[in-house]
Amino acid sequence: MAELIAGEEFGKLFRTFRQSAWRLETQFEYREPKEVPLLQSWLNGEPDDLAWMSGWLDNIRAIRQAGKEFGRVRVISEPLTDYLRWQMTITPSNVEAGEDIRLLPANRARELGLPGHDFWLFDEERVAVMHFGESGFVGAELVTDKATVARHRVWRDTAVANAVPYSAADPSLIT
């Protein structure tokens, strides 16, 4: 495995891409330390003002206002895990900010031969293959090898073509 980037170095990818950033999200739970108490509060029925997401949502708005593309396909379990059920309740904020979020059942993703790893594809030329541990995101392996990037573009195109936009998803998934 190549050297992993994380923190500010990983965050810089979202400020420096020129045209497009797209993610394949394959896990059914991410265990990010900052999300654990938020998920637990949601499971307890407590309201969430989503203030913790304001920086991310502002970033999405700025990206979209600059005319750049920003999206993801979220591979979902059937039935949804608690984590994915929680994600469905906060996804409207991302969509309203301008992110194109689509959903793809896990069994369909497997049929299509999509990978089991998360990745970001930046400007059709760089892939950040994400790595996770017991406490969430560890870092991303930044890949520019043309064949590897081309394979990830095919996976992106396949996922997008077969996923359902969040706004058109089965209402039972998003309520």
Amino acid at 134: E
Reported as a single tens digit per residue, the pLDDT across 42-65 is: 999 999 999 999 999 999 999 999
Domains annotated on the chain, with CATH: 4-173 (3.30.870.10)
What integer is the mean pLDDT of 99-127? Answer: 98
Residue 148 has pLDDT above 60, yes or no: yes
For β-strands 4-5 and 136-143, DSSP reports them as antiparallel
Query: What is the Cβ-side half-sphere exposure of residue 85, based on CA atoms within 13 angstroms?
Result: 12
Mean pLDDT for 142-168 is 97
Q: Is the pLDDT of residue 15 over 70?
A: yes
pLDDT band at residue 175 using 50, 70 and 90 as cut-offs: low
Report the pLDDT value the prediction gives residue 129, as an integer from 0 to 100: 98
Q: By the 8 A CB rule, do 138 and 131 touch?
A: yes
